Amino acid sequence: LPGRSNVGTTTAPQPPIGPYRRLPVQVHQADPHAAEVARRLIALIATRWPATPAEHVGSTAVPGLAGKNIIDLLLAAEPAHIPAITQALLELGFQPQRPAAFPATRPMLWGTFRHGPTDYRVHVHVVPADDPEVAAMRGFRDALRADPRLRRRYAALKRAIVWCGPVDPVTFTKAKRS
C-alpha cells in the first residue's frame, strides 16, 4: 500500500533447497556441472550435519554418463541418527518424497537447488550404514566409473526404457533393475 513502511517487519529467510518438481523421466546427456553441484550440496548438508558426510552417487556421479540429471546423494548413517539427519535436511528445505517409496528408517528426501541459472533436482538417500544398499550404491557408481562398456550399456538401457515416451520415476527405476 502507498505510504506504508516495511520498517520493523521481517520475512523468514528462504531455505537454500526449493520445492521439488516431479517430472516424467527423460534421459539427458551428462551435465558437466553435476559434480560441482554435488560438491556444493555436500558442503551445505555438512553445515547442518557434519558428522555424516554425504557422497555423490547415481548417474551424475559418473562423468559423461547420460541420465535423468538428478543429483543423488547418499548419507550412510548410524540408524539412531537418521531422525536427526532427516530433521536437519528438512530445515535446509528438503521435502519428504511423496508418495513415500522408502520407510522413515531409510528416508529419501528431495528438493531443488539453484546453481547458476539452473534448478537441479536432488534426491538425498539416508540409509543405515550397515544396510547392504550402501555398498551396492557405492559399488555400482564405482563400477560405472571404471568400465566404459558398462557405462554404454547402462545408458542404452535407460534410453530404451524411455524410448516409447515419458515414464514415471518408479516404473523407470524398476525397469533398470529387471
Q: Which of 42, 34, 35 is nearest to 16 (CA)?
A: 42
| Gap between the Cα atoms of 36 and 114, Å rounded | 12
Mean pLDDT of 5-25: 79
- Taking only Cα atoms into account, the Rg of the chain, rounded to an integer number of angstroms, comes to 18
| Gap between the Cα atoms of 144 and 62, Å rounded | 7
Handedness of CA 86, 82, 78, 142 (dihedral sign): negative
Task: Please provide the average confidence, as pLDDT, over all residues in the chain.
Answer: 90
Assess whether pLDDT exceeds 90 at residue 24: no
Q: What angle do CA 117, 123, 127 make, to 5 degrees?
A: 150
Q: What is the pLDDT of residues 30-88, one digit of tens each?
A: 999 999 999 999 999 999 999 999 999 999 999 999 999 999 999 999 999 999 999 99
Per-residue confidence (pLDDT) for residue 13, from 0 to 100: 81
pTM of the model: 0.86
